[in-house]
Amino acid sequence: MVSREDLFESVKPNGIFISVQKDWVYLTAIWKEHEANYEDATGLIRQYRRPLHLLLRDNYDQRNSWQLLYNHRLEGPITHISSFYYNDGSTPSNTEYNENNALAILYQSHGKEDIKYIIRLYHIGNYEDEISNNILDNCQISPRTCHIKPSFKYQDIILPGTTSIKSFHVDGSIILYSRSPDDAKFRTILIPENIFDISKSKTDALTLKSSDPGPIQKVGRLDPVTKKTSTFRRVYAVSGVIRVLNVEVTATDETWKFQVSVIHNSSSSEETDKRFRWRSKKLIAYERPTSPKKFEYEQFDFVRGITFTPITVPKPVVVTAKNVTTICIGLNNILFTFDYSNTTTTTDSNQQDTHSTEAFIVRSEFLPLLEESPFQVVGTEINANGNLLALVTQENYVLIYKRGDANINVSPPSAQTKKGWFTGLIDADNRQNRQTEDNWELRMVIPSTDLDILGQSELDVIAVKILNVSGFQNNGNVLLSLYENGDITTFDLNNSEQEMKFWFVIRKQWHMYIGMICVILGFVWNEAKMG
């Protein structure tokens, strides 16, 4: 078993993922560059597990602690991490929980004058047949590859090209990434079928020779005082069509702009160059003044005489439901929701391409003020059906939102969701979609576990996971919340929402309640003395 001190060592991982398969909860800790010597720093992956059924019990079982399975040391530093669902066609039994989670880890391999980008795909909870590099005694403290149990099934894939990869995401059978510089806005590659059953070579990874380019773009450079981030997510589309949601944030020393567009290819177009078959539609354009913040300068910038204006670039947190029909984006204290709808279709004047003109219903709302100043969303989790959402804030609150079938206690939308600022956010073609019955409702607020009763010292929430275990046990929807010391807590999302709201109010306003109690006790004391 693994102690709390040994779980994450002294260096916090760059990525933490919770997955569930059958009766096991799996924790994957990923360090992008794990080594004291910077020149030798390469990616490290550590895999742990613990029984799910013991976590669902009412009383805590001391035997239920994390068990190390293996360490994997990669050839180079990790640049991007993506989790996705992999459909292997298996059917779980009534006593098993089957999520079919997978991880995609993108890392660099340096050799002579070449740089290769390699993806390692892991099939969570599905093991290799044998153990290699078995070191039973010191695997916990070993910085190298070692196994106590067989590793998950995995495959290494070499991507074509050598230019820097800026964004990366894997969804189902598609690898979606962008490069800089590149005349394609993004690129896609189909993952070979039965990828985890392909025999691995002992010397070379599986090499993919080419990719499919997205829409064409100009190759240029940004102004030195401009910073830009771009994220891509695949969303639902009919067979033969690739539809991508593009999230962009561009910031200068005066303003930052948040823009969301949906891009899809026109499969019936007569264009021979695939880069010209794409259509784009803007869904959101949102602009705000830039707030000052400490800026991390590149090495030698001051020596060169370069002085950039400090720029704050808000980081959107994006999550996609398993059915890829719902995407949620947390941006500071605003929640954006994009729901796919194919109710309206039109045909172009040339009668060649039928497509949805209103492919997404767009919703947007301010999140509640939990602290004295607006907070920032740092993590999101959504269930497979897209009707149960968990948001983790920078202040370690977990907000649970429900809608549709998951929203047990239906109530009218709060006044905060009806504010007129909404119409200024949404593109004109989408404004008629904002009044729908499927809006999110805040149902629970969960503060981080306190180390003392006054909450003066709190633990960071580093990962959350929503599970529907009704087929496994009679708990329905539960939330697994992982804290920085390795503790994991379960919350029943169906039955405890009212109680959680009450205790949140008490905890949040404890200063006021203590003051009121002191005043009441003072009156009682004075009355007793006078009597």
Peptide bond into 181 cis (omega under 30): yes
| DSSP symbol at 350 | T
Q: 170-210: per-residue pLDDT in tens?
A: 988 899 999 988 999 999 999 998 899 888 766 678 899 99
Could you give the 3-state DSSP secondary structure of residue 6?
helix
Q: Are 87 and 99 in contact (CB under 8 A)?
A: no
- Residues with Cβ within 8 Å of residue 222, at least 6 apart in sequence: 228
C-alpha closest to that of 473 among 56, 22, 55: 56
Please count the helices (runs of H) and the strands (runs of E) in the chain: 5, 31
Q: What does each C-alpha distance from 64 to 17, 47, 264 come to in angstroms?
A: 18, 16, 47
CB atoms within 10 A of CB 91: 6
Using alpha carbons only, give the angle 491, 495, 499 rounded to the nearest 5 degrees: 80
- Residues with Cβ within 8 Å of residue 349, at least 6 apart in sequence: none
- What dihedral do alpha carbons 470, 474, 477, 480 form, nearest 10°? -110
Residue 9 backbone class (left: φ over 0; alpha: ψ -120 to 50; beta: rest): left
The residue length of the chain stands at 531
C-alpha closest to that of 266 among 257, 275, 255, 253: 275
At 460 the pLDDT is: 83
Could you give the 3-state DSSP secondary structure of residue 499?
helix
At 83 the pLDDT is: 93
At 374 the pLDDT is: 59
Q: What is the 3-state secondary structure of 372-404?
A: CCCCCEEEEEECCCCCEEEEEECCCCEEEEECH
Q: Are 278 and 262 in contact (CB under 8 A)?
A: no
Q: Report yes or no on whether pTM surpasses 0.85.
A: no
Query: Considering Cα of 118, then 328, then 259, then 184, what sign does the dihedral take?
Result: positive
Tell me the two tokens of residue 144: 């190298």
Tell me the two tokens of residue 466: 């929503």
Full pLDDT tens readout for the chain, 531 residues: 555 556 776 778 899 999 998 889 999 999 998 765 555 678 999 999 999 888 887 666 666 789 999 999 999 999 999 999 988 776 666 666 777 889 999 999 988 788 999 999 999 999 987 765 555 446 776 778 888 888 999 999 999 999 999 999 998 889 999 998 899 999 999 999 889 988 876 667 889 999 999 999 887 766 666 788 899 999 888 877 889 999 999 888 788 899 999 998 875 555 555 656 888 999 999 888 876 554 444 444 444 444 444 556 778 999 999 888 899 999 888 899 999 877 544 455 454 444 445 457 888 888 877 655 556 788 999 998 899 999 998 888 888 999 988 876 544 444 333 333 333 343 444 444 444 458 898 888 887 654 444 343 567 888 999 988 776 666 688 899 888 888 888 888 877 554 444 444 445 555 555 667 777 777 777 777 776
At 395 the pLDDT is: 81
Tell me the two tokens of residue 183: 């005349």
